[in-house]
Structure 1
Amino acid sequence: MDFYAGLDVSLEATNICVVDGDGKVVREAKLATDPDAIELFLAEWGVQLKRVGLEAFSYSAWLFTALSDKGLPVICIETRHAKAALIAMLNKTDRNDAKAISQMMRTGWFRAVHVKSEGAQTLRALLVGRKALLGKVLDIENMIRGLLRPFGLKVGEISVGRFDGRVREIVAGKKQLEAIAAPLLDARKAMRLQLAKPHRLALAAARSDNAVRRMMTVPGVGALVALTFPATVDDPARFRKSTNVGAHFGLTPRRHQSGQTDRIGGISKCGDELTRAMLYEAAIAILTRIPKNFKLRLWGLRLARKKGLKRAATAVARALAVLLHKIWSSGTTFRFGAGGKRGRVAAAM
Structure 2
Amino acid sequence: MKLYAGLDVSLKEISICVVDGEGKTIAQGNCPADPEGVMGWFRNRSLAPQQIVHESGMLSIWLQRGMSRLGLPATCIDARKAHKSLSARLNKSDVGDAEGLAQLARTGWFTPVHIRSEGADRLRGLVTPKRHQSGAVDWSGRLSKCGDGVMRSLLFEAATTLITRVRKFSALKSWAIRLAGRRGFAKAAVAAARKLAVLMLTMWKKETEFNWQKEAVA
TM range (shorter): 0.5 to 0.7
Q: Is 1:197–2:136 an aligned residue pair?
A: no
Q: Counterpart in 1 of 2:100?
A: 100
- Code of the residue aligned with 2:53 in structure 1: it is G
Q: TM-score, length-normalised on structure 2?
A: 0.60
Classify 1:61/1:199 alpha carbon distance in 2 versus 1 (closer, same or farther; 3 Å). closer
How far residue 38 of structure 1 moved from its aligned partner, in angstroms, is: 1.2
Query: Could you tell me how far apart the structure 2 residues matched to 1:207 and 1:72 are?
Result: 37
Q: How does 1:200-239 map to 2 (within 5 A)?
A: 204=153, 206-208=155-157, 216-217=172-173, 219=175, 224=194, 227-237=197-207
CA contact (8 A) 1:117 1:234 kept: no
Deviation digits for residues 129-178 of structure 1 (CA, Å, limit 9, x no counterpart): x57x95xx75xx5xxxxxxxxxxxxx5x3588xxxxxxxxxxxxxxxxxx
Classify 1:205/1:112 alpha carbon distance in 2 versus 1 (closer, same or farther; 3 Å). farther
Q: Secondary structure at the match of 1:22?
A: coil
| Percent identity of paired positions between Structure 1 and Structure 2 | 30
Classify 1:72/1:208 alpha carbon distance in 2 versus 1 (closer, same or farther; 3 Å). same
Query: Could you tell me how far apart the structure 1 residues matched to 2:200 and 2:82 are?
Result: 26
Q: Counterpart in 2 of 1:335?
A: 216
CA contact (8 A) 2:171 2:217 kept: no
Q: How does 1:309-320 map to 2 (within 5 A)?
A: none
Query: Could you tell me how far apart the structure 2 residues matched to 1:80 and 1:331 are?
Result: 40
Q: Counterpart in 2 of 1:13?
A: 13
Q: How does 1:165-180 map to 2 (within 5 A)?
A: none
Deviation digits for residues 98-143 of structure 1 (CA, Å, limit 9, x no counterpart): 222211111122354555443212112445xx57x95xx75xx5xx
- Code of the residue aligned with 2:31 in structure 1: it is L
Q: Greater share of helix residues, 1 or 2? A: 1
Q: TM-score, length-normalised on structure 1?
A: 0.42
Query: Could you tell me how far apart the structure 2 residues matched to 1:77 and 1:39 are?
Result: 19
Classify 1:225/1:330 alpha carbon distance in 2 versus 1 (closer, same or farther; 3 Å). closer
Q: How does 1:31-50 map to 2 (within 5 A)?
A: 31-50=31-50
Q: Which moved more, 1:215-224 or 1:79-88?
A: 215-224
Deviation digits for residues 293-322 of structure 1 (CA, Å, limit 9, x no counterpart): xxxxxxxxxxxxxxxxxxxxxxxxxxxxxx
Classify 1:208/1:97 alpha carbon distance in 2 versus 1 (closer, same or farther; 3 Å). farther
Q: Counterpart in 1 of 2:182?
A: none
Q: Counterpart in 2 of 1:51?
A: 51
More RCO (CA 8 Å, sep 6+): 2
CA contact (8 A) 1:3 1:51 kept: yes
Q: Greater share of strand residues, 1 or 2? A: 2
CA contact (8 A) 1:215 1:226 kept: no
CA contact (8 A) 1:116 1:234 kept: no
Classify 1:200/1:97 alpha carbon distance in 2 versus 1 (closer, same or farther; 3 Å). same
Q: Counterpart in 2 of 1:342?
A: none
Query: Could you tell me how far apart the structure 2 residues matched to 1:200 and 1:74 are?
Result: 29
Indicate the structure (1 or 2) with the bigger Cα radius of gyration: 1
- Code of the residue aligned with 2:3 in structure 1: it is F
- Code of the residue aligned with 1:335 in structure 2: it is A
Structure 1: give runs of 5+ residues left out of the alignment: 142-154, 161-194, 239-327, 338-349
Structure 2: give runs of 5+ residues left out of the alignment: 163-169, 180-190
